[in-house]
Structure 1
């Protein structure tokens, strides 16, 4: 290797370096613009259902015989139903082993439309429509071993689903999963069924064996994606039990995100998916029932497909479980800082960041009820409303708190499920109505446009500098 031995050689090298930098900048801009143009004229993968993966607590594991001394779901079939949020004709499924202590060996899996019973939507059904049954494959194989901490996507499947319809997913594990650390979502508010042997093609698990059991939990299944036009995108919601649907009706799909989907589809055929990434007991700052929102943001939002918007509605468990006194004030300060960090990270990924005010948590016998906790809730909510840090604010507190002549530190009695913290289906309807549907159009395409403009401006600056030499 030779080094420059004169001032003219050094100047020449500098010019070459500037030229290479300019070429690189223009090339990157071209790549991003090209990707954006392709996206605008083509199709892409979009989440159309999702649930937050978490470690299944011992009390939410299946019962014997599906929970043995050495493994879970050995020689067992699991049938689950999920509520789809966009219409599509090509889908793929994601199974998660994020918290598994051993390999998750999926032996076989199928999808089908559920059979309706007494006019039901099919949610929580043990039966399927046999004519719709299709086998799922993974990298061309019927079986797949998912290592601990990993996930697996199925191959794309030509299968038609509609927004606000239900899909049945059936999985068989021949060897089960060793140990008792498995991944799932206990707060499904949806009934699943377990049966012995390979029943992935069974028309009805309930009638296939006297040993079939039912449980109101989901296991392993974490996301469903669809191949959709570029105009389609998704809203991810980071939340706790209020978003997860505590107080809603099992198998009725009347959580507030479900009712928001209903509002979107009433307006017109929606191009927006609603992805519920909430879990009961979840906190912003600390792990507990699932990882903290700050630690799971990349996994549950940023890494997902076509997330254009994220609504941050979490913090009540942070304020409700903190020690009183100076620690509570510090917790409230940290909640605000945590929101700020989430906004920064979402913007870095080109995702619009919306914030929601924390709903009331005071009432007789409610563990979170304390005047000091209420003061900190009000202080956090004032920051959400007034700081201008979020791109938009959804004022759930204002929508569901007591009205004139009522205690406004408490939920409106009409919306209270009975514990002064979680709402009933009518309260969740009011929460859904508090989301301004115009926000979806207002922030459409915001992220990629910013990235393209930034790269273009970088290239233009380098061109100007080169011209000056």
Structure 2
């Protein structure tokens, strides 16, 4: 597919429609520095990033992400939250993904930052881009549903420790160190390495109608999608997004803020120098991962199993206290937000060394009872009921075999079929929140 020449004319940074607003259509929970995290199905990156402390070195990235909705204009956020030095980016662009590392010819649009093609982001900070017009939205709107966007950029010099999201489960592409891909490399032939993680990019916004709303899926690896199909976009938030689009069109966008190994209350300290594989505690992610988003109306929160694991060993009371405080903060920070609790799926009898004990399962059941009965939430989703075998107390057998890397599965993470059951268990009417800002 080659786009018509009129799509390459000036005007890539024209103003969005006055009756629209920014809506987050893709996001990734921030963690770092690379390689601290819990990637799944990650290729060997020793040749792409030979020195972890140096990070990227005069190197190009093409990150392939799937926006939940498409609009007339986009903007992106680049993050250096867990870096220890300033990072210089240039040659940033967005284009329509074709296949592999290639983008549709003629679809690439330059992305500017305060009118400049180069941006320097200090350690611990993030920067929003200017708005960039997406002419393809007018030309091919009916065909864009489910298509992916390619965000390309080059790191100038050494980045140092990289802010990343380990478990995107969507393939992106990297150049060799000291090799900056040509701006005309639509085919991506200068991007020989693949990764299933994202780096530096943490939000994509689109201009959407004024009544559009964002549903945030907050959680751990079961929200992040471990066990789902690699590049299949079939996690439970993806299933929810499909259902909402079928029922309400572009009124809703679903973004996934799951993070493998994440806990509600631990660790107490998380920095680039003192990192944890599971990322920052969820109680601290309200500011960094949710408040940064545009148009949030609802948060569906499923979490706690890692707090109860052999790595966490938290008490039920401490987890409930942490959850209660985080919800109070979320209501304070996001006006009119609707918060839906989601019961924890079972890990009983798991083959994972960190999960599966009777003690852990009893804590899980008690937290689920709290989620179902407390007045803390505006409603709840019973993922436990949708996936548990009542006879054995384990995941239903058909939900166990792994869809990411194959094999028997671990009894903690559902597969594609399990995530389908979870996504279908959500009552869509709970998400209708006309008072949301």
3-state SS, counterpart of residue 95 of structure 1: strand
Counterpart selection for 1:165 from 111, 136, 147: 147
1:58 aligns with 2:40: no
Aligned to 1:103: 86
Aligned to 1:112: 95
Aligned to 1:240: 220
1:144 aligns with 2:128: no
Aligned length: 385
Q: Report if aligned partners of 1:90, 1:226 keep a CA contact under 8 Å in 2.
A: yes
Instruction: Pick closer, same or farther for the CA change 1:65–1:230 going to 2, 3 Å.
Output: closer
Residue 364 of structure 1 and its aligned partner are, at CA, apart by 4.9
Aligned to 1:135: 110
**Structure 1 unaligned residues grouped into runs of 5+:** 1-40, 117-124, 449-469
Aligned to 2:19: 42
3-state SS, counterpart of residue 78 of structure 2: strand
| Range with bigger deviation, 196-205 or 164-173 | 196-205
Aligned to 2:369: 382
3-state SS, counterpart of residue 316 of structure 2: helix
Task: Output aligned runs, 1:279-290, within 5 Å.
Answer: 279-287=259-267, 288=276, 289-290=278-279
Aligned to 2:434: 444
Residue 100 of structure 1 and its aligned partner are, at CA, apart by 0.7
Q: Distance in 1 between matches of 2:33 and 2:115?
A: 30
CA RMSD in angstroms comes to 1.9
**When the two structures are superposed, what TM-score results if normalisation uses the length of structure 1?**
0.78
Which consecutive segments of 4 or more residues in structure 1 shift more than 6 A? none
Q: Distance in 2 between matches of 1:200 and 1:144?
A: 17
Aligned to 2:398: 414
Higher helix share: 1
Aligned to 1:402: 389
Q: Report if aligned partners of 1:86, 1:271 keep a CA contact under 8 Å in 2.
A: no
Aligned to 2:210: 230
Q: Report if aligned partners of 1:75, 1:198 keep a CA contact under 8 Å in 2.
A: no
1:83 aligns with 2:66: yes
Q: Report if aligned partners of 1:309, 1:353 keep a CA contact under 8 Å in 2.
A: yes
Deviations 1:220-251 (A, max 9, x none): 11000112222011011210000001001111
Q: Distance in 2 between matches of 1:200 and 1:387?
A: 55
1:260 aligns with 2:254: no
1:424 aligns with 2:415: yes
Aligned to 2:10: none
Instruction: Pick closer, same or farther for the CA change 1:200–1:267 going to 2, 3 Å.
Output: same
Deviations 1:408-427 (A, max 9, x none): x2111111131010010010
3-state SS, counterpart of residue 106 of structure 2: helix
Q: Report if aligned partners of 1:361, 1:420 keep a CA contact under 8 Å in 2.
A: yes
Q: Distance in 1 between matches of 2:219 and 2:380?
A: 15
Q: Distance in 2 between matches of 1:284 and 1:204?
A: 42
Deviations 1:108-165 (A, max 9, x none): 211110114xxxxxxxx20111211111111101000000111111110111374422
Aligned to 2:302: 313
Q: Report if aligned partners of 2:97, 2:147 keep a CA contact under 8 Å in 1.
A: no
Q: Distance in 2 between matches of 1:232 and 1:249?
A: 29
Instruction: Pick closer, same or farther for the CA change 1:70–1:284 going to 2, 3 Å.
Output: closer
Residue 397 of structure 1 and its aligned partner are, at CA, apart by 0.5
Aligned to 2:319: 335
Instruction: Pick closer, same or farther for the CA change 1:69–1:358 going to 2, 3 Å.
Output: closer
Aligned to 2:156: 174
Q: Report if aligned partners of 1:138, 1:153 keep a CA contact under 8 Å in 2.
A: yes
Q: Distance in 2 between matches of 1:187 and 1:363?
A: 25
Instruction: Pick closer, same or farther for the CA change 1:339–1:215 going to 2, 3 Å.
Output: same
Q: Distance in 2 between matches of 1:364 and 1:53?
A: 28
Q: Report if aligned partners of 2:35, 2:52 keep a CA contact under 8 Å in 1.
A: no
Instruction: Pick closer, same or farther for the CA change 1:65–1:228 going to 2, 3 Å.
Output: closer
3-state SS, counterpart of residue 380 of structure 2: strand
Q: Report if aligned partners of 1:236, 1:311 keep a CA contact under 8 Å in 2.
A: yes
Q: Report if aligned partners of 1:346, 1:352 keep a CA contact under 8 Å in 2.
A: no
3-state SS, counterpart of residue 315 of structure 2: helix
Q: Distance in 1 between matches of 2:102 and 2:157?
A: 24
**When the two structures are superposed, what TM-score results if normalisation uses the length of structure 2?**
0.84
